[in-house]
Amino acid sequence: MRVQEILKSFSNFPVSSFEQIAPGSSLILSPHPDDESLGCAGFIATAIKHGRPPVVVIVSDGSASHTGSHLWPPERLASCRQEESQNAANALGLPSDHLFFLGLQDSAVPTAGVVFEQIVRRILDLAARYYCQNILVPWRHDPHCDHEAVWIMGQRVKALRPNLRILAYPVWGLTLPPEQEVEEPVPAGWRLNVEACLPAKRRAIEAHRSQRGLVVKDDPDGFVLPEYLMEKMLQPYEIFIES
C-alpha cells in the first residue's frame, strides 16, 4: 500500500472523544526523549485534564543525535536530553512520578534477547502499578530502528497481556515519501482533537532545545528538528492507530 493512501486514511479517521480512544489509564512508550512531545503531547495534556495522567516511559537515552560533538559526549548529551523531557513534562503538567527513563543506548534498542525481555517485564510492571489499560507505541512504519523496536515491544507486551490495548502514534512516518510502498492493510483508528492543547504542546516540543539546534554548537551535521516535521506535529488532531 502506498504511503499517500495511508496518510489519506489517517485524515479520514473519525474524530472521537478521549474516552472512546483510551478508556482508563495509559502508558506511553517513547523511543527517544522528544517523541512523547511530538506525537503525544496533546494526548498527555488531555489525559491530565481528565484526571488520568499517563505514565510516560522514555526508552532510549537520546545520546546519538550529535555524534560529531566533542563538547557533548554521549553521557552529557543523554543527561541534557533527560532534563529536556522533564521540562517538557512540566510544560504539560505531568507529575514527576509518572515519567520514567530506561536509558537504553540510542539507535540500539533491542528487538529480542535478554535485555528486550527485561524491558518488556519492566513495562508490564509499570502498567500494573499504575493500572494502565492502554499502551501507546510508535507506528511500525516510522523510519527509525528504535521506533520499530519499541513497536515490537508493544506487540510482545500484548502477547503476554492480551487484555492491554495497544495504540500506535505516528511521528516520522508522516514524512515518508508519498509513493513509498509499505506492508500495511488499510489502517483503522481515531483522531483526537488537541487544538486546545496546542500552546502547551508547542511549549513541550520547544523544551527539547538540543534537538532544535540551540545547545550543541560543535557538530554542524548534528540533528535538528526540521520545520516540516514541526508543522505536521502541531496540527489540531493527533492520530492513534488501532494496533
For 141-194, what is each residue's pLDDT tens digit?
A: 999 999 999 999 999 999 999 999 999 999 999 999 999 999 888 899 999 999
| Residue 78: predicted pLDDT | 98
For 68-98, what is each residue's pLDDT tens digit?
A: 999 999 999 999 999 999 999 999 999 999 9
Question: Which architecture, in CATH terms, is 3-242?
Answer: 3-Layer(aba) Sandwich (3.40)
- One-character DSSP codes across 79-97: HHHHHHHHHHHHHHT--GG
| Residue 243: predicted pLDDT | 81
| Residue 186: predicted pLDDT | 87
Q: What are phi and psi of 238, to 5 degrees?
A: -105, 150
Show Cβ contacts of residue 30 under 8 Å, excluding neighbours closer than 6 positions: 36, 39, 40, 56, 57, 58, 59, 138, 150
| H or E segment to which residue 192 belongs | strand 189-193
Q: Where are the alpha helices (DSSP H) in 105-188?
A: 114-129, 145-160
| In the chain, where the domains are located | 3-242
| Residue 185: predicted pLDDT | 87
Q: How confident is the model over 46-63, as a mean pLDDT?
A: 98
Is pLDDT of 2 > 90?
A: yes
pLDDT over 90, % of the chain = 98
- Judge whether 222 and 65 are in contact, CB under 8 Å: yes
For 15-51, what is each residue's pLDDT tens digit?
A: 999 999 999 999 999 999 999 999 999 999 999 999 9
DSSP 209: G
Of 1-5, 50-54, 122-126, 158-162, the range with the lowest mean pLDDT is 1-5
CA atoms within 13 A on the CB side of 102: 27
Q: How confident is the model over 226-238, as a mean pLDDT?
A: 96
| Residue 184: predicted pLDDT | 86
Instruction: For residues 134 and 235, give the distance between their C-alpha atoms in angstroms, rounded to a whole number.
Output: 23
Q: Is the pTM of this model over 0.85?
A: yes
